[in-house]
Amino acid sequence: MATTTGSYFHLHMISDSTGETLITVARAVAAQYSNVSPVEHVYPLVRSQKQLDRVLAEIEEAPGIVLFTLLEKDLVERLEAKCQEINIPSLSIIGPVMQLFQAYLGTETSRRVGAQHTLNAEYFKRIDALNYSMMHDDGQHVEGLEEADVVLVGVSRTSKTPTSIYLANRGVRTANVPLVPGIPIPHQLETLKKPLVVSLHATPERLIQVRQNRLLGIGRTGDDTYIDRQAVTEEVAFARKLSAKFDWALLDVTRRSIEETAAAIMKLYADRQRQKASQT
């Protein structure tokens, strides 16, 4: 069985829905293999034999690993038979989990395609959180900060905006406010009661590296203060002093991805909610 061509291999992901589940799982596993990279072939909304025909043709043309989240039995059987015929591996990502649920619950699944994307209350909660986070990005509309679940603060390039958007996608109403030495923080930030305020910080070395990349990306090279070691160190110290003064939660994002930062914030938020519940 041919597994790779050079440092690449073909990875086919077939879904009867959006394919988000497949992509997330596949990339999490592929990231563990630093010496090879997948050439991704994503096929969403495959729900008929005709649609599967095109997929099978592409798989045969570029053999590789096949992952799928199909619920229609006939489609699954045909896909697996084709993979066996051309001697390539295939795996249902949700099949084993569904079997486990079925064995434990003692009941068949509804086999409803895209059930996780139903327009329910949770969906509209995410949309509301996204709208809120976009409106309250980078210190905008500070008069509405009390309506947030989480407020992120930090100096420039501590990933406040992308973390806010990621949290909003999980249904967490998130605002973010920049901390800039010499500029007073909004008075609303000093008196917040409901939201969890999290101060994101990083080492000066990391901030300088990210800022240099940012300046290069926008074609600017002359902003010395923005990447000056002493100035950046003072910014970090300023942010830490404010965090101590107002008892904000501190989170070091120096070596964290956006996903890891968001996960840590959600844990802090969940812990705070449990603590509040126990006091009532």
Rounded CA gap, 235 and 237, in Å?
5
pLDDT digits (tens, 9 = 90+) for 163-212: 999 999 999 999 999 999 999 999 999 999 999 999 999 999 999 999 99
Is the pLDDT score of 66 beyond 60? Answer: yes
pLDDT band at 98; cut points 50, 70, 90: confident
Rounded CA gap, 202 and 210, in Å?
11
Is the pLDDT score of 3 beyond 60? Answer: no
Can you tell me which residue has the tokens 């293999």?
33
pLDDT band at 220; cut points 50, 70, 90: confident
CB 261 within 8 A of CB 242: no
- Residue 145 parent element (H or E): none
pTM as predicted: 0.73
Q: What is the mean pLDDT of residues 237-245?
A: 97
Rounded CA gap, 31 and 41, in Å?
17
Rounded CA gap, 195 and 175, in Å?
10
Is the pLDDT score of 237 beyond 90? Answer: yes
Q: What is the mean pLDDT of residues 48-55?
A: 96
Can you tell me which residue has the tokens 């009390």?
146
User: What's the farthest any 2 CA atoms get from each other in the chain?
Assistant: 69
Rounded CA gap, 251 and 261, in Å?
8
Residue 108: the pLDDT is 74
